[in-house]
């Protein structure tokens, strides 16, 4: 799955990475999110949220 990685704390765009998706879920507000593999740390997962970023709807992980 293609996920856009950003660090909003330092305004850094880390690019789009192809990562494994472990699961899809819905939060308390019925917003979708996915647990995806961390491209930098083996055996670690991150939360990707489906939202607008740079005027486009996409899966985004904010590592901040």
Residues 12-42: tens digit of each pLDDT: 999 999 999 999 999 999 999 999 999 999 9
Count of structural domains within the chain: 1
Res. 64 pLDDT band, cuts 50 70 90: confident
> Taking residues 31-59, what's their average pLDDT?
96
> Taking residues 40-49, what's their average pLDDT?
97
Look up the domain containing 42 and give its range. Answer: 2-62
Strands (E), 1-64: 2-7, 12-18, 21-26, 32-37, 45-53, 56-62
How are beta strands 21-26 and 2-7 bridged, if at all? unpaired
11-14 long-range Cβ contacts below 8 angstroms, 24+ apart: 14/63
Separation of alpha carbons 16 and 33, rounded Å: 17
Percent of the chain with pLDDT strictly greater than 70: 100
């Amino acid at each position: 799955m293609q996920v856009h990685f950003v660090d909003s704390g330092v305004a850094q765009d880390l690019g789009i990475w192809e990562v494994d998706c472990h699961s899809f879920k819905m939060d308390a507000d019925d917003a979708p999110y996915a647990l995806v593999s961390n491209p930098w740390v083996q055996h670690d997962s991150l939360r990707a949220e489906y939202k607008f970023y740079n005027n486009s709807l996409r899966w985004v992980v904010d590592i901040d």
